[in-house]
Every structure is written in structure tokens, then in C-alpha cells.
Amino acid sequence: MNKNSNTYIIIYTVVMVVLVAVLLSVTALKLQPLQYANILGEKQNAILEAMGVDGDYNQVIKAYAVDAEGNVNESVSADAALEMLFGLNDAFAAGTYPVFENAQTGEVVVPLMGKGLWNDIWVISH
């Protein structure tokens, strides 16, 4: 095949685009669990920072969920309360609110979310 023909250039371009697209898709899928873990760690650090505490999140923080009346929802685990931060609007709509408490001092951190100019605004308040 003539490497200077239009047919060769089009076929070469299509093959390269498909190859690069497949490589990017596979890479994105392989890195997705690491990205999720990184975001989860970032949220844990934000909670610790809001309390002004250094240490291991799992040893310092007691996470749970409450309903609109302030009653603790026993069916929500500590991990589920942390994962609620990924769908905070849905959790609020369901009447479930994640709460993060310093197990040593009793201080509480409550995540809040509102509408900003271009996107949602996240607040982790102490």
C-alpha cells in the first residue's frame, strides 16, 4: 500500500485513534479504585483538619448518621456514613445526615453542601 495515499492515512488515523481510546479507557478503569480511595482519604483528612486533630481517622473519629430529629440511625455503619459524602444531596433528601464525632473529646463535625456559582460548595463545619 502506498503510504502517501489518502486511504492509508485515513486507515492509519482511525487505527491510532481507536488504539489510544482503548488504552485510555483501560487505564481509567484500572485507576478508578485508587482514585476513589484517594478521594475518600481526602475527605477523612478534611474532617480531621476541621477538628484540628492529627492522627489516624479510624482511631480518632466515630462516624454515624442521624435523622431529622437527631436520633442516631443504627442501620448506617461508620463506613456508610463516610460514603454518604459522595451523595450528600441524596442523603439529605432521604432525611439522613452523616455526623463525625471526635471519640475523645465529643466534638462534632457536620458536612454541609450548597449551590455555588458554577458548582456545589462543600463545607465541613466544626
pLDDT one-digit tens code per residue, 6-60: 999 999 999 999 999 999 999 999 999 999 999 999 989 988 888 888 888 888 8
- Shortest CA distance to 64 belongs to which of 41, 82, 37? 82
For the segment 96-111, the average pLDDT, to the nearest whole number, is 88
Least-confidence region, from 25-29, 69-73, 119-123: 119-123
- Shortest CA distance to 55 belongs to which of 98, 102, 109? 102
Please give the mean pLDDT across all residues of the chain: 88
How far, in Å, are 4, 7, 16, 64 from residue 109 at the CA level? 65, 63, 50, 11
Quote the cell numbers at residue 47.
474532617
CB-based contacts of 67, cutoff 8 Å, min separation 6: 73, 95, 96, 97
Quote the cell numbers at residue 116.
455555588
pLDDT band at 126 (very low <50, low <70, confident <90, very high): low
Quote the cell numbers at residue 74.
443504627
- pLDDT value at position 18? 98
For the chain, the structural domain boundaries read: 6-125
